[in-house]
Amino acid sequence: MYTLYNRSAPMKPANPAPDAPVSARKIIHLDCDCFFAAVEMLEHPEWREIPLAVGGAAERRGVIATCNYPAREYGIHSAMSSARALQLCPQLKLVSGNMARYREIADRIFAIYRRFTDLIEPVSIDEAYLDVSNSPLCGGSATRIAEAIRQQVRDETGITVSAGVAQNKFLAKVASDWNKPDGLCVITPDKQSEFVAQLPVKKIPGVGPRTQEKLMGLGVGTCAELQSVSLMELQNHFGRFGERLWQLARGEDSREVRTHRERKSVSVEHTFSQDLPDLASCLDQLDPLLEDLERRYERHRDARQVLGVVVKVKFSDFTQTTAECRAEQPHKGLYASLIEEAWYRGARPVRLLGVGYRLGPREGEAEAEQLPLF
């Protein structure tokens, strides 16, 4: 049912097709394996068997962007502080990375994806959804298309890509992680219910440690157990996200593959070399942050209106919080009050501050659903 495939098939040019009905969709989620580290190992084969991470310097309070699998055996993962990673693995090879080179390789990989379909939704530099519902390639088999994509990426770039194939984006995303690295997991419609039932709730997008802890308090550890909780109870405990939990616990996801993503926010943030000891020190950092934010917003000013403002505060213990409000005329005093609100939730030294604008839709478009800014 969840098999590692490694076949390839000859290709012919693909033609874009309109979105298929939800029940007939064939979605592939493609995710490059430890992408930044994989590129570094291509450039430096001698690093393949040693713990390797790409990230900022520990003395500058950098964080890990990604690491290879030997490093993961030490418990290192992305978003971990570089200092902590070096504590776990003192012999870790830590490199700052080469984003221009990563983008060059990523562009080549996405060019391969476009041989198969034009219905591509990039998620990040190394991750994308493809809709091949109406593709005539490989006899219309999404599994064989995924196999061929993986083979061509490996042959032409040296990068391995894991893939998930399913009827919707949620399950395709989960499946792509199932046989990593360099794996392919296919969830066929007749096996979907069985696959979802045994799925741990921590695999559901949006379920972090706190949500998982609350679900465990309800006696819920798997999607099968989550299915037994009523929609009303989930909404009482988790608000709007409760309805989403109810749907995903049943493997339901009607989202289309979107070839264009509209920017909903603009933000900047800064990690300080020394913790800011108190609220006053945080407020002293507002001017340079707001200047950076204005520079970043400049390219959107003519087309996008500011609808709200938000701040992010990450404390010295790595806990973080955000505060926001609607405002069409943002000013420094408004940001100061939000920082004060956020700071008092932790009332401890601060390692990172962020500020941002929530953007309105382009002229003639309906306002999009609000998404997290940071």
- Catalytic residue positions, numbered: 127
**Phi, psi dihedral angles at 165 (to 5 degrees):** -120, 130
Q: How many CB atoms lie within 10 A of CB 372?
A: 11
Rounded to whole angstroms, the Cα distance separating 54 from 37 reads: 6
User: For residue 119, which of 140, 139, 133, 109 has the smallest C-alpha distance?
Assistant: 133
Residues in the chain: 374
Task: Quote the CA–CA distance of 135 and 26 in Å, as a whole number.
Answer: 9
Distance CA 192, CA 172 (A): 11
Cα angle 68, 259, 148 (rounded to 5 degrees) comes to: 55
C-alpha distances out from residue 254 to 235, 242, 279, 374, Å: 20, 16, 44, 25
126 is in an annotated binding site: yes
How many angstroms separate the CA atoms of 120 and 98, rounded? Answer: 25
Can you tell me the distance from the alpha carbon of 179 to that of 160, in angstroms, rounded to the nearest whole number?
A: 12
Calculate the alpha carbon distances from 59 to 18, 155, 317 in Å.
Answer: 51, 39, 17
Contacts of 131 (CB under 8 A, 6+ apart): 19, 20, 25, 26, 27, 117, 119, 256, 257
Q: Tell whether residue 155 is among the known ligand binding residues.
A: no
Task: Give the CA distances from residue 363 to residues 259, 360, 367, in Å, rounded to whole numbers and listed in that order.
Answer: 20, 9, 10
The binding site comprises: 31, 126
For the annotated binding site for Mg(2+), the residues are: 31, 126
